[in-house]
């Protein structure tokens, strides 16, 4: 069972690396949706008319980078400072 879970996670990570954006679920990738009453096309506010949404895996990667990059940079700078 465990190898299947690992394989699934690896496949999803690969998918996020190859294609970090998916179709917007609200407008189905069109960038606009029709209003309920008059069926007029209106820009999609969820994706700001791009028709794209960031995948969860990509969001996780961006969050991790944003959170831990300053700490890693600090460590690297300290190491470079002590070597020189």
**CB-based contact 15:55 (threshold 8 Å):** yes
Identify which of residues 42 and 77 has a Cβ nearer to Zn ion in the complex.
42
**CA Rg value for the chain:** 20
How many residues in the shown chain lie near Zn ion by CB under 5 A? 6
Q: By CB under 5 A, is residue 32 in contact with Zn ion?
A: no
Q: Does 16 bind Zn ion (CB under 5 A)?
A: no
Minimum CB separation of residue 51 from Zn ion in Å reads 6
Q: Are 83 and 50 in contact (CB under 8 A)?
A: no
Helix and strand numbers, DSSP H then E, in the chain: 2, 4
User: Which of 23, 34, 42, 46 lies at the binding interface for Zn ion (CB under 5 A)?
Assistant: 46
Give the interface with Zn ion as residue ranges (CB under 5 A). Answer: 24, 26-27, 44, 46-47
């Amino acid at each position: 069972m465990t190898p299947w879970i690992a394989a699934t996670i690896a496949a999803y990570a690969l998918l996020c690396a190859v294609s970090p954006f998916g179709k917007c679920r609200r407008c189905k990738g069109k960038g606009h949706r029709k209003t309920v009453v008059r069926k007029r096309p209106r820009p999609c506010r969820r994706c700001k008319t791009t028709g794209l949404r960031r995948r969860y895996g990509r969001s996780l990667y961006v969050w991790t980078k944003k959170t831990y990059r300053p700490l890693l940079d600090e460590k690297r700078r300290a190491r470079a400072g002590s070597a020189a």
